[in-house]
Amino acid sequence: MTIRIAINGFGRIGRTILRQILSLKHNGDITVVCINDIASIETLAYLFKYDSAFGPLSDSVSTDGSNLVVNTKKIPFFNSAEFTALDLSDVDVVLECTGNVRSRKVAEQGLAAGARAVVISGPSDHADVTAVIGANEGAIQDAKIVSNSSCTTNAIAPLLNYIDKCLGVERAHITTIHCYTNSQPLVDAPRCDAARSRAAAESIVPTTTSAAKELQKILPDVGSRTSISSVRVPSLSVSAIDATLQLVNSVGMSSTDILKASAENLPVIGQVVDPCVSRDLRARPESLILALPETVIVGDTQIRLFGWYDNEWGFSARMIEMSRLLAARP
């Protein structure tokens, strides 16, 4: 079965998705029917070829009129602000990667253009359902518009759900240590809150995270017992979570055994046993990579764990997997 997708918005996530689809053999079942973005095709071709986080693409990248050409493969490129003007009747899934879904009408644009489903690359109150693979993907059922939630929620929810089922989570506090993003200024400039108005590459910035609200949607029970905070750090890519969980039941085994079991049972969770730093985890496809040497059990029922996640590469991998789930429905 070939899955036909369209990418609307060729920014950080849109370009990372295409890199994965073109470069990884296991994505050979996916065809990119078209890309749409309001920026110039020449600029976006350059940014696709040369990436500050992932390095230059080994394939040749050029433009041919209104096509993005990778090696000899031509991908039609549209420059339309009105997505509904396109004919997407042969598209299984639209990957909505503009980061600009401000209303239900915008969320529905891919459907209005003829596609059978839409996956939004971020939190959205305008989706039919919010789903995270490894936590609640069964909730998609017959939904036409699915929010893939946030990179941080994808990192937290599968592991928290697993540990809650195995040992019970009485309460938890999680801090995401997040690399800076385009929502922050490079020099001091007004933003949504005072701290986030400061220069992103110069300071550690305490701020909020959408993952707190998102976890309540995905895992309302354990989410109600979990608090989540965030600090933005001056790093280009790869983020981390630092979590302290108070458990209902005694751990009863070594901390590494618990986390190894979660990685074995959940394909979206990986693990490292070496003392790694953030850049070592760049372009890892898992939603979370547990750092086993950083795990500590305090007493019988408290566990501290630490995990890495490439907030762009891992999240993009989940977007692709979500497309497969939606396209496979009858």
Domain count, the chain: 2
Q: Which amino acids are annotated catalytic?
A: 151
In the DSSP assignment, the letter for residue 27 is G
Same domain, 293 and 201: yes
The CATH code of the domain that includes 201 is 3.30.360.10
Kindly give, in sequence order, each residue whose CB lies less than 8 Å from that of residue 49, ignoring residues fewer than 6 positions away: 56, 57, 61
Same domain, 238 and 282: yes
How far does Cα 151 stand from its chain's mean position?
4
CA gap 219, 182 in Å, rounded? 28
Looking at residue 172, its pLDDT comes to 98
**What sign does the CA torsion over 83, 84, 88, 94 have?**
positive
Same domain, 287 and 161: yes
Same domain, 271 and 182: yes
Same domain, 31 and 162: no
Same domain, 160 and 112: no
Q: Taking the C-alpha atoms of 127, 132, 138 and 143 in order, what is their torsion angle to the nearest 10 degrees?
A: 20
Same domain, 283 and 158: yes
Containing domain of residue 222, as a range? Answer: 151-310
pTM: 0.95
In the DSSP assignment, the letter for residue 195 is G
330 residues of the chain, pLDDT tens digit each: 899 999 999 999 999 999 999 987 666 789 999 999 999 999 999 999 999 999 999 999 999 999 999 999 999 999 999 899 999 999 999 999 999 999 999 999 999 999 999 999 999 999 999 999 999 999 999 999 999 999 999 999 999 999 999 889 999 999 999 999 999 999 999 998 899 999 999 999 999 999 999 999 999 999 999 999 999 999 999 999 999 999 998 877 665 677 778 888 899 999 999 999 999 999 999 999 999 999 888 888 999 999 999 999 999 999 999 999 999 998
In a domain, 201, yes or no: yes
Nearest to 22 by CA among 56, 71, 78: 71
Same domain, 165 and 95: no
Same domain, 156 and 111: no
Q: Which of 73, 100, 121 is the last residue of a domain?
A: 121
